[in-house]
Chain A
Amino acid sequence: MTELGMTRRATMRGLALGGALILAPGALAAVAAPDRRSATTAALLRTTFPHRALTDDFYRSVADRYLKEVAADPAAMKAHDLGLAELDGSHIAPFAELPAVIRRSLVEKVDQLPFFKALQWRGAEMIYRDPAVWKLVGYEGSSVEYGGYLERGFNDIDWLPKAAAGGQG
């Protein structure tokens, strides 16, 4: 943690706690504006779970659902906002508008913080429980209604070396 970073985080904490708006330029929008919060969260989700085939709208909708859940816990929302402020505070551009490689390096600085761990865990559930994502990665899900995979490819592998494929049964 740099001294500058410490100062900025302390400032953000003061902001969130006291509501007194003594502003650093990059920090303004991160705490308050719902649009910025949503955009930064969506960009953070894409940086954490980057799939080229998933659209910005997809990450935005996951972000909005996530924020709605976090809103139920003011302390968690405060921590989330502080984390976003850290990401948006680069003084170059808002996090969501930065190139992927820079976004990655910024996330590396916060990836041990509880707000990020929480987003990772719940984000993994929201993204990888989504049937649209299953389709993308090639997972077929519930099978009982189709009689299982017994007649639907449970043993259809065709690329193994012939000599080795013995099998017992």
Chain B
Amino acid sequence: MRISNVEGPLDPSLIQFLTSQLSIQVAACSDAGEPTLARALGARMSADGHRLALMVPVSQARELLTCIAANGHIAAVFNEPETHRTVQLKGNDARIEAISAADAAALGPYVERLARRLQHYQVPEAFSRAFYAADPADLVAVSFSPSAVYGQTPGPHAGEPLKPGKAP
């Protein structure tokens, strides 16, 4: 089944939000209907605004990557911890790619920024650094063209499709 509320490139403000070093979790499911999930460590949008790539540590996401390779279905949730602003994207053409040198270089700043965000909840920096630690050699990029976007900020409207141009 194809769900779509996205046509063309994503809204620039949404792209800015998705790539602003947020907490990211990625889900997929097997052809038998078994869901799985893992954390992603950073997001990059293609220059034309059509394809989003998420950095995923292979060692933490073997089942997820197997599912994506099998059917290409993907869901990813992006959360800004200190504001609770949350967006979920879905796609059905996900594929696994090697990361670029720029992706590897972005890992350090990503961890640093999230550690700062979590200090809002008095989470010690040492904890954040362990939580988001990854070896760039262990990362792959999972890219997909988002076909649906949902607002998931906690509240009664969580889960509703996000209207184009509307902030999460």
B is bound to A: no
A residues contacting B by CB (< 8 A) are none
